[in-house]
């Protein structure tokens, strides 16, 4: 389908992944978000889309069949222009009014009520559990790609396109934040779905604090700020074959979570620590986090 059928309304934002536009679909009357990406063309006659791009977009389209309420909908994919080296692909998503950053900023002091935070967390984790159960690692969770509708529905965006995005990012000067990255990513070790739960923990704390939890300016600085809270991990948890040794950091014990998120009750502090666990093998999963006592609703605890 041609991207020209959509009528641009406004520029929503510019990021490492290109410019996003709000547009109107004249056929349905609904607003959509247009995200234009540059993808390297295959070194083959005719220069088609790389097979990795085709696979990743096909997976996102397949997820549409589930219509998960906490995952942003990919409505259309249009290849719009082509050169010898790259193809411009436009992804058409449902339009959501704001991201979590804007939603948090709108909340009057002293911030969101605890029950609202719990509701957002349940939705966030349901969307993530759905992605993980379909073998998709988000890899870049942060408040800007967690969308919140005006009615308070959370929708995860910007997932499943990591390889496409890595090419796009190589072409832009935008600095990608380290603040939500798991230690194994910062150390350039192997990683899997637990990286997303680390990011969830950082965002969970930010919902209370209304400012980021760890604001490092380099990988070592980010790790230092993490260890200031959780303590230096034991030798046996440090990944093998990474260039940054454990000995580069000063030995220190953990601090109480309430020293940085004083509003958190004990079970919430426990859940946060299970997300901010250094070893990915010991970190809580999205599925387990949903079952945690802190996020269980009152009616779930009532005896029949």
The residues carrying an active-site annotation are 140
Distances (CA, A) of 102 to 36, 97, 143, 145, 263: 23, 10, 9, 11, 21
Pairing of strands 154-156, 86-94: unpaired
Q: What is the C-alpha to C-alpha distance for residues 140 and 158, in angstroms, rounded to an integer?
A: 8
- Cis peptide preceding 110, ω within 30 of 0: yes
What is the DSSP secondary-structure string of 71-125? B--EEEEEEEEE-SSEEEEEEEEE--SEEHHHHHHHSPTT-S-HHHHHHHHHHHH
Burial environment of residue 149 by CB neighbours within 10 A (0 to 12, 13 to 18, 19 or more) = middle
Distances (CA, A) of 13 to 57, 84, 87, 101: 22, 28, 21, 13
Strand partners, 34: 21, 92
Helices 194-209 + 266-275 axis angle, to 10: 140
Q: What is the C-alpha to C-alpha distance for residues 131 and 146, in angstroms, rounded to an integer?
A: 14
Longest dimension (CA), the chain: 67
Q: What is the C-alpha to C-alpha distance for residues 39 and 188, in angstroms, rounded to an integer?
A: 25
Give me the helices (H) in 134-193, please: 162-170, 183-186
């Amino acid at each position: 389908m041609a991207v020209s059928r959509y009528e641009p309304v406004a520029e929503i934002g510019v990021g490492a992944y290109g410019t996003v536009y709000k547009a109107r679909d004249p056929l349905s009357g609904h607003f959509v978000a247009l995200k234009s990406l540059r993808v390297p063309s295959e070194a083959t006659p005719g220069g088609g889309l790389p097979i990795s791009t085709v696979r990743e977009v096909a997976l996102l389209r397949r997820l549409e069949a589930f219509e998960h309420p906490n995952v942003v909908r990919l409505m259309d994919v249009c290849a719009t222009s082509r050169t010898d080296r790259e193809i411009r692909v436009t992804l058409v998503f449902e339009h959501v009014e704001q991201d979590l950053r804007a939603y948090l900023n709108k909340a009057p002091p002293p911030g969101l009520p605890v029950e609202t935070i719990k509701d957002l967390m349940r939705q966030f984790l349901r969307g993530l559990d759905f992605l993980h159960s379909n073998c998709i690692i988000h890899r870049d969770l942060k408040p800007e790609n967690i969308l919140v509708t005006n009615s308070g529905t959370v929708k995860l965006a910007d997932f499943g396109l990591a390889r496409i995005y890595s090419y796009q990012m190589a072409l832009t000067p935008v600095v990608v934040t380290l603040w939500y990255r798991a230690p194994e990513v910062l150390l350039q070790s192997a990683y899997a779905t637990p990286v997303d739960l680390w990011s969830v923990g950082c965002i969970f704390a930010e919902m209370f604090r209304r400012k980021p939890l760890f604001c490092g300016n380099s990988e070592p600085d980010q790790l230092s700020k993490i260890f200031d809270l959780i303590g230096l991990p034991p030798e046996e948890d440090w990944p093998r074959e990474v260039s940054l040794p454990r000995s580069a950091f000063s030995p220190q014990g953990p601090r109480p979570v309430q020293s940085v998120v004083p509003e958190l009750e004990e079970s919430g502090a426990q859940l946060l620590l299970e997300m901010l666990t250094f070893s990915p093998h010991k970190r809580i999963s999205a599925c387990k986090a949903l079952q945690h006592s802190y996020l269980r609703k009152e009616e779930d605890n009532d005896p029949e």
